[in-house]
């Protein structure tokens, strides 16, 4: 498997929790200029390597581009014909005309930024859409035949209660969607929330409440027919994200655009986040991943998946004895954070709540 990630760093407004490379476009010409440079970077990819199983257009807010700009973007990527072709959409910037364009150019998966169905919570985190925007987008995409729809939701937002989560999932139960990414709110640097935190204007959600929310989400989504296949991801009818599984499987992917990352199986790189610097030279940094770094990443990403990692396959691939290399695994077993099932090392229900504590063993 091999993927292409395309970053569109523009937003109509900045959400308070977001730390991705993004900015509010001053005018239409700023976006047009960016698309010109994005095409220059794409052209630099050797023709013989332009064979991708997945293409993912993320942001930022790709759906805020107008019809002409989206057409320019899709024309650039035309002919790749990936098996999974995803674009991120914010509900308030979706239109039927954009949906028709998605269909025309082969988009077959949409990742919809919902985050919450509670208006007060949406306002608190800086979101501008309404529930009716979400419902229209999902109904219209389904009517167009784009049925592989994923929604993003967030829990452990200050002010959110368990009743809020129950309400959100009551609405989810009525939606014709195939996938949910359900993340806990993480306080990241370079966000509005972080600046509020430094001024003591932001207080994180209670840890115990966060755990209760996560446990409820897992149980409720299972009852709704969703399979929990990664710490934050749930799928119905075998619609797991192929693109994200590239990351978790350490498969190669190319990233283009400001702030994008790439990995060819040996080397990792990152593009400049700043547009002026990106226009001067696309890449900011590049490094060869050492054998120990590769093994560490392989184990950490693998343990994010609910199925865990195949112990025999790991030991054969890396020519190691896992327990000799990481003797602290024994303490994780004793603490009930990991377990061995069918020769797979995987997180327990308790370990899912304390994943970072487990991952530290492999750093």
Kind plus residue range of the DSSP H or E element containing 115: strand 109-115
Q: Tell me what percent of the residues of the chain surpass a pLDDT of 70.
A: 100
121-164 pLDDT, tens digit per residue, is 999 999 999 999 999 999 999 999 999 999 999 999 999 999 99
pLDDT score, position 319: 97
* Tens digit of each residue's pLDDT (9 = 90 or more) over 169-183: 999 999 999 999 999
Domains belonging to the chain, first-starting first, are 3-247 (3.20.20.70), 308-363 (no CATH)
Q: What is the rounded CA–CA span in Å between residue 24 and residue 30?
A: 10
Q: Which pLDDT value is given to residue 21?
A: 86
pLDDT of residue 347: 98
Work out the percent of the chain whose per-residue pLDDT is above 90.
93
First to last CA, the chain: 26
Give the pLDDT confidence score for residue 41 in this predicted structure.
Answer: 98
Q: What is the mean pLDDT of residues 172-201?
A: 94
pLDDT, tens digit (0-9, with 9 covering 90-100), for 309-346: 999 999 999 999 999 999 999 999 999 999 999 999 99
Cα separation, 298 vs 62, whole angstroms: 30
Quote the pLDDT of residue 53: 98
* Mean pLDDT value across residues 278-285: 97
Residue 144 neighbours by CB under 8 Å, 6+ apart: 99, 100, 102, 103
pLDDT of residue 91: 98
Pair 276, 34: CB distance under 8 Å: no
Strand bridging mode 309-310 / 344-347: antiparallel
d(CA 302, CA 289): 17
Are 133 and 162 in contact by the 8 Å Cβ rule? The answer is no
Average pLDDT across the chain, whole number: 96
pTM for this prediction: 0.96
Does 19 have pLDDT greater than 90?
no
pLDDT of residue 325: 97
Name the pLDDT band for 190 (thresholds 50, 70, 90): confident
Say if residue 20's pLDDT is above 90: no
Tell me the C-alpha distance between 42 and 4, whole Å.
10
């Amino acid at each position: 498997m091999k993927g292409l990630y395309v970053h569109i760093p523009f937003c109509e407004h900045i959400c308070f929790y977001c730390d991705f490379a993004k900015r509010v476009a001053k005018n239409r010409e700023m976006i047009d200029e960016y698309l010109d440079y994005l095409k220059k970077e794409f052209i630099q990819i050797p023709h013989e390597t332009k064979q991708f199983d997945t293409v993912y257009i993320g942001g930022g807010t790709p759906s805020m581009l107008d019809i002409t700009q989206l057409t320019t973007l899709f024309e650039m990527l035309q002919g790749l014909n990936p098996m999974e072709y995803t674009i991120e959409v914010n509900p308030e910037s979706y239109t039927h005309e954009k949906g028709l364009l998605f269909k025309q150019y082969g988009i077959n998966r949409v990742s919809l930024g919902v985050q919450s169905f509670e208006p007060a919570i949406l306002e608190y985190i800086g979101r501008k859409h309404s529930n009716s925007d979400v419902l229209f987008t999902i109904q219209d995409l389904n009517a167009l035949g784009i049925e592989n729809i994923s929604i993003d939701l967030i829990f452990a937002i200050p002010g959110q209660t368990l009743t809020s989560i129950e309400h959100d999932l009551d609405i989810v139960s009525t939606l014709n969607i195939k996938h949910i990414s359900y993340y806990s709110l993480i306080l990241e640097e370079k966000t509005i929330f972080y600046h509020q935190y430094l001024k003591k204007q932001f207080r994180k959600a209670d840890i115990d409440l966060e755990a209760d929310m996560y446990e409820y989400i897992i149980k409720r989504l299972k009852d709704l027919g969703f399979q929990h296949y990664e710490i934050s991801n749930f799928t119905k009818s075998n619609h797991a994200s192929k693109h994200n599984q590239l990351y978790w499987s350490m498969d190669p992917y190319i990233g283009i655009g400001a702030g994008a990352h790439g990995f060819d199986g040996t080397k990792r790189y990152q593009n400049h986040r700043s547009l002026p610097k990106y226009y001067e030279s696309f890449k900011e940094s590049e490094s060869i991943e050492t054998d120990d770094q590769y093994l560490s990443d392989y184990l950490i990403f693998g343990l994010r998946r609910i199925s865990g990692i195949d112990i025999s396959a790991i030991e054969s691939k890396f020519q190691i004895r896992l327990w000799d290399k990481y003797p602290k695994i024994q303490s994780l077993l004793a603490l009930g954070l990991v377990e061995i099932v069918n020769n797979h090392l995987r997180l327990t229900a308790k370990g899912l709540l304390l994943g970072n504590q487990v991952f530290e063993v492999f750093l």
